[in-house]
Structure 1
C-alpha cells in the first residue's frame, strides 16, 4: 500500500493525537505527554529525521528535531506546537473528547482546536516534503512541547533554560492561535497573532485579628480583602492602543482609530468583538476567594486569586495601578508571571504567510492581532526568537472557532486541516 502524506493523512494524524490522553490538570498532574511524544517521534523517524524525546520529569515529554535546509547559513525557523490539552467533562460533549470522531465534516475531540490540529498539520507537511525529497530553504526546528496549558514549566520554559542548543541559530518562530479565517464585510480575513498580553496570576492576602463572630472587630481580614477585590474587579482600565492593535484597526477599517473611538469600532466586529475587545486594555479578573472555617469565627487570614493580563509596553503601569487598588493592608504574590511579547507585522516572514494564504485563498487578507492569552512563544522570546501565531485554517462562517478553545464540542473541519497543510507547504517554500 502506498503511504499517504500531506493533506491526505492530516485528518488521521489529528484523530490519532486526539485519541492519546494527554490531559494536563496542572500541578504536574495527569497522564503526561510521553505517549503523544512517542507517536510524534515515530512519525518523524519514518521520513528520515532523528527526533529526540526530552523529559523534564517522568512522563513530561518534549520532542525536538531539525530539518536541514538547502542554505544552512541562514537563520533557522522554529515550528512549535504543544502536546497537552486541558481537562474536560465527557458528559457535556456530543462525541467523546478522546474519540477523534469524524462527524459533520469535522474531527471532534479535546485538542482539535488547541492544538493537536496544528501538531497534525506540522507532521503532515514535514512528512510530505521529506518523502518527496523537498528540503526547506533554511533549517527548520520542530518543537512539540509538554505543559503549555499550565505555563510551560515542564515544556517550553524548561527547554529554553536547559536545552538552548536545540534553538541554535533560530531567530523566528510560528505556532498556535493565529492564521484562522473570519468572514467580515471586508471579506475573508486571516488573523495572524503578532502580540500577546503578559500574564500575572496573583494570590492576594489580607491578615487581621481572629476572634468570635459575635463580637466587634475592626480588623477583619475578610472585609479588607473583599474591599480590595471589589476595587480591582470593578476598575475600568484605560484603553491603550498598542502598535499591533492599531495595525489591526488600520487593516480592517482602512484608517487609524483613536482611543476614545476604539470600543465603538470593536462593537461592529460581531463575533470578533469578544477577542479584540480584550486587547484594548489591561484586565484584572478576580477568580477565587478563600477564608475561614466556621460561620462564627472571624478568620485571621483571607486570600483571593486574580487573573491579570497586561498589554505589551504597559507592565509598569499595570502593577503601579494594581498596588494602588490593593491598598496598604493587602499583599500580592505571583502564582505565575510571564512577559508580554510583540513582533512588528512586516518583513519576509510576514510576506511568506500572506503570500501562502493568497495562493490558496485569492482575495483574502492577512491581518495582525493581539492575543489576550499566551503561548510557548513567551519562553522562546527569552532566547531572542520573535514569532507569530500561524496555524492556517479556512473556516466556515458559522463556526465559533474562538469559542471552542478550552470549550465543549471542540472540533475542526477536515477541509480546514487540508487547507492548512497546503498553506504551510507554500509558506515553508517561501520563508
Structure 2
C-alpha cells in the first residue's frame, strides 16, 4: 500500500529545517529524509556521492515506456546567512503572513518540495506516467556542483540513458518585464561563466610625482572605464530575439512598445531607459557578454606607485561563445596590453531548443493561470542545467510559482528574509503534477 501524499507546504518546512549551508553542505540528513519518503511511496531510490556527508539522491517513478525518461532535478544545499539581518530565524521555517520563511524556501527547497510532492501524489493515486520520471536531488550547486551534478554526469552517466529532456531551476512568475502583466518565464538558455585575472605591468616610482601613462594604475583606470557599462557590446542571440518578440506581444502596451523597438534594433540600449531600472539591467545582461571587476590587488605603500596590478573579472558569456571570443572582445576595448589568465570557463552550452517540451511547459502554465503569459527567458547566470547537456539532454528552467504582483522572487534569492508564499508552493506542485500526467 502506498503512502498518502505529503503536503507541499509542510514538506518545504521540513526541508528548510535541515541546515545545508554550503560550505560545508552536509546534505546527507536531508537527502536521507527525502529518500525515506519516496521509498515508502514506492519509488526506487539510490544515494550516490563522492563523500558520505554529501550524497545525491536519484528517485525513479516507473513509467509505461511509451515516452522517453524525463529528468527533474533540484539542489538541497543553500547559501550562508552570515552577515545578514533576518527578522525570523532562517532555519525555523516559520509559517507567517501566508508564507514559509527561511533560507532555501525559494532557492530551492520549495521547488524540490513541488517536484517531490507531485511524484508522491501520483504514486499515491497509483498512476504511471508515459515515461519514467527520474528525480535527481543534488548537492553542491551553490559552490560549483563538484560533488553533485558534476559527479553524476562524470561517474554515472548511464543513469540518465534515454533521457531527452530535463526540468530544473529557474523560471517562475512575477519577474517584472511585463509592465503590469503577469509573466511566467521558461528558461531556455543560460550564460556561462568566464572568470579572468588581468595583470597590468609598468613603471612605478615615487607617488609624489604624476604617474607615467604606462603605470599600471593608469592602465587600470582605462580598463575599468572600458567595462564600466557592464558589457562588451550588444550581440543578440536567437533566444534573446525570440524573448524580445514575445515580450513585445505579451507586455502591457507602453512596455511592449519598448520591446518591439528593441527587437527591431537590439543595439539601441537607450530604449532601456523607459523600463524600470532592474528590468533594464537584466536585459543589458543578456544582450551582451557581461563583465564586472570584482577583485583588485595593487601596491602596499601609499607613497609608492605599484609596478603591477591584478584585476579579477567576472565575465558571463552568451550561448555559443567561448573564452577566446570574450578575451578578444575585451582587448578590442582596451588600448593597453593585457596579460590574461582564464580562471574559470563554464561548460559549453548548445543553442536553446524550442519544441514539444517547451510548448508543453507553456501550455501547463496557461491552463494553471489563464491570466498569466508564458515567455522564454535567458538566465544571466548558470545552474546545474549547464551540465546535463553533455549527456545530450535538453534542459529547461521551470519552477512555476505565483507571487504578489509587486514581488520579484529573484530579489528574495540569497537574501535575508527569504520566503515563499503558500499559494506559490501549491500552484507549483499542481503544475508539476499536470506536467507528469500530460508528458508523452
Q: TM-score, normalised by structure 2?
A: 0.87
**1:150 and 1:253, CA in 2 relative to 1: closer, same or farther beyond 3 A?**
same
Task: Provide structure 1 residue ranges, at least 5 long, that are not aligned to the other structure.
Answer: none
Find the aligned partners of 1:182 and 1:234 in 2 and give their Cα distance: 23
Q: Deviation of residue 67 (structure 1)? A: 2.0
1:382 aligns with 2:376: no
**1:41 and 1:31, CA in 2 relative to 1: closer, same or farther beyond 3 A?**
same
1:146 aligns with 2:139: yes
1:70 aligns with 2:64: yes
**1:334 and 1:56, CA in 2 relative to 1: closer, same or farther beyond 3 A?**
farther
Partner of 1:259: 265
1:137 aligns with 2:130: yes
Partner of 2:378: 370
Find the aligned partners of 1:375 and 1:162 in 2 and give their Cα distance: 19
1:322 aligns with 2:330: yes
Partner of 2:237: 242
1:277 aligns with 2:284: yes
Instruction: Tell me, yes or no, if the aligned pair for 2:164 and 2:392 is still in contact at 8 Å.
Output: yes
Deviation track 1:320-339 (CA, whole Å, cap 9, x = no partner) reads: 11234466643222332114
Instruction: Tell me, yes or no, if the aligned pair for 1:61 and 1:145 is still in contact at 8 Å.
Output: yes
Instruction: Tell me, yes or no, if the aligned pair for 1:220 and 1:300 is still in contact at 8 Å.
Output: yes
Find the aligned partners of 1:379 and 1:394 in 2 and give their Cα distance: 28
Partner of 1:128: 121
Instruction: Tell me, yes or no, if the aligned pair for 1:244 and 1:342 is still in contact at 8 Å.
Output: no
**1:19 and 1:300, CA in 2 relative to 1: closer, same or farther beyond 3 A?**
farther
Instruction: Give the secondary-structure state (helix, strand or coil) at the position aligned to 1:278.
Output: helix
1:413 aligns with 2:421: yes
Instruction: Give the secondary-structure state (helix, strand or coil) at the position aligned to 2:56.
Output: strand
Q: How many residues align?
A: 423
Partner of 1:11: 9
Find the aligned partners of 2:42 and 2:3 in 1 and give their Cα distance: 14
Instruction: Give the secondary-structure state (helix, strand or coil) at the position aligned to 1:195.
Output: strand
Instruction: Tell me, yes or no, if the aligned pair for 2:74 and 2:168 is still in contact at 8 Å.
Output: yes
Q: TM-score, normalised by structure 1?
A: 0.88
Find the aligned partners of 1:363 and 1:422 in 2 and give their Cα distance: 17
Find the aligned partners of 1:58 and 1:206 in 2 and give their Cα distance: 44
Which moves more between the two structures, 190-199 or 61-70? 61-70
Alignment of 1:285-296 (within 5 A): 285-296=292-303
**1:32 and 1:325, CA in 2 relative to 1: closer, same or farther beyond 3 A?**
farther
Instruction: Give the secondary-structure state (helix, strand or coil) at the position aligned to 2:329.
Output: helix
Partner of 2:44: 50
Which moves more between the two structures, 30-39 or 389-398? 30-39
Q: Deviation of residue 4 (structure 1)? A: 5.2
Instruction: Tell me, yes or no, if the aligned pair for 2:50 and 2:147 is still in contact at 8 Å.
Output: yes
Partner of 1:59: 53
Find the aligned partners of 2:268 and 2:170 in 1 and give their Cα distance: 23
Q: Deviation of residue 263 (structure 1)? A: 3.5
Q: Deviation of residue 172 (structure 1)? A: 0.9
Task: Provide structure 2 residue ranges, at least 5 long, that are not aligned to the other structure.
Answer: 250-259
Partner of 1:21: 19
Deviation track 1:191-241 (CA, whole Å, cap 9, x = no partner) reads: 111111121122222345677767998675555445434433357532222
Instruction: Tell me, yes or no, if the aligned pair for 1:197 and 1:340 is still in contact at 8 Å.
Output: no
Alignment of 1:334-349 (within 5 A): 334-339=342-347, 341=349, 344=352, 346-349=354-357
Which moves more between the two structures, 149-158 or 228-237? 228-237
**What is the Cα-based RMSD across aligned positions, in Å?**
2.8
Instruction: Tell me, yes or no, if the aligned pair for 2:231 and 2:284 is still in contact at 8 Å.
Output: no
